Amino acid sequence: LDVVPELPWGKVGGQEAALQAIKDAIELPLLHVDLFKKFQHATPKGFLLYGPPGCGKTLIGKATAYNLTKQLREKTGAEMTEYFMHVKGPEILNKWVGESERMVRELFATAREKRREGFMPFVFIDEAESILGTRRASRYSNILSTLVPMFCSEMDGIDSLNDVVIILASNRADLIDPAILRPGRIDRKIKVNRPNKQGARDVYRIYLTDDLPYDGALAKEADNVGAAVEQLVERFVDWQFAKREENKFLEVTLRSGRKETLYRSDLISGAIIASVVERAKAMAIKRAIATQQEEGIRETDLQLAFNAEYTENDIFPATDVTEDWLKLIDYDPENVVKITPVRPLADARWRAISGVI
């Protein structure tokens, strides 16, 4: 059970299309029941969030739980609290016969019980492909041969979103068994993309708030702190998305023989942005301790943090194994032959700023 914080839609940056799709799929049927009955339009039972890791699938799931429950409270006037069950797929896998199936049954039974108690239950299954994958795609094929039908049976027992909201999340939707994704079970498939340039700006502004300490030089660039931070984010994101040699990150070889270059910005995510900001804060804190003076976040702090996030390789596969990288790039796995990391030498300009602490 995960505690859902106060999470209005505005705190989920760079995912406008995904959020709108969720509102259409979940909010409308629950908030306009009579209209849906009038049109005899079936309400969905669940939906799949798919896309690269770190792009906000779990955050979107929690935001859905918070906002939907809040709107239901306002509409009905009844006291209602969200009950968000966050399950990682591999946690369900168990070598003992029948144990995984028992856990799935208990998961749905708990959700139904909580609904009877007046809660609004949400079942969020992360890494769904690990327990609901095609038999050929998993080394646990013996378990999946009974687990997938069990899950389908439980889904068939759900009336609609009025009972339980089922949310699946996956980096590899292509590995999920088609029986799970057919209409009548997981009715909506919603792509959670990596943020584009404007999306990255929006996410940075969520983390780079006006009340943080910034370098004094920034304050001289605008009339107020908010405008100065906007300019800082604008310049930094332009720098981050520039197609420079040192920003090259991956070379993708396609089945047609064509090779495509992916830059660091092509693999940006909300998780990376959050980590970049935290690294930049740490640099500013260490500088303040060393100088014993008022210090704040600088643009070079963000640049150094961004560079470190990619060169330290904590969030990316440590090998060149194509299967590992396929989870991170937005390509059809059937069309990719090879993925090769690019590690260019930094240019003189980068070496110059990398010495700044």
Chain segment 240-266, per-residue pLDDT in tens: 999 988 888 888 999 898 999 999 999
With a CB cutoff of 8 Å and minimum separation 6, the contacts of 353 are 300, 303, 304
Using CA atoms, how far apart are residues 340 and 344, in angstroms rounded to an integer?
12
User: Per residue in 85-98, pLDDT tens?
Assistant: 999 988 887 777 77
pLDDT at 349: 36
pLDDT at 351: 40
Using CA atoms, how far apart are residues 153 and 148, in angstroms rounded to an integer?
9
Q: Where in the chain is the domain with CATH 3.40.50.300?
A: 9-191
pLDDT at 313: 59
Using CA atoms, how far apart are residues 341 and 357, in angstroms rounded to an integer?
28
Q: Which DSSP category does 96 fall into?
A: S
Instruction: Report the candidate in 63, 68, 91 with the shortest Cα–Cα distance to residue 164.
Output: 68
pLDDT at 345: 37
The edge-to-edge listing of strands for the beta sheet with 259-263 is: 259-263, 248-254, 336-341
pLDDT at 45: 80
Record: fold of 9-191: Rossmann fold (3.40.50)
pLDDT at 126: 93
pLDDT at 231: 93
pLDDT at 135: 55
With a CB cutoff of 8 Å and minimum separation 6, the contacts of 207 are 273, 274, 277
Low-confidence ranges of the chain (pLDDT < 70): 1-3, 135-144, 159-162, 313-315, 318-322, 343-357
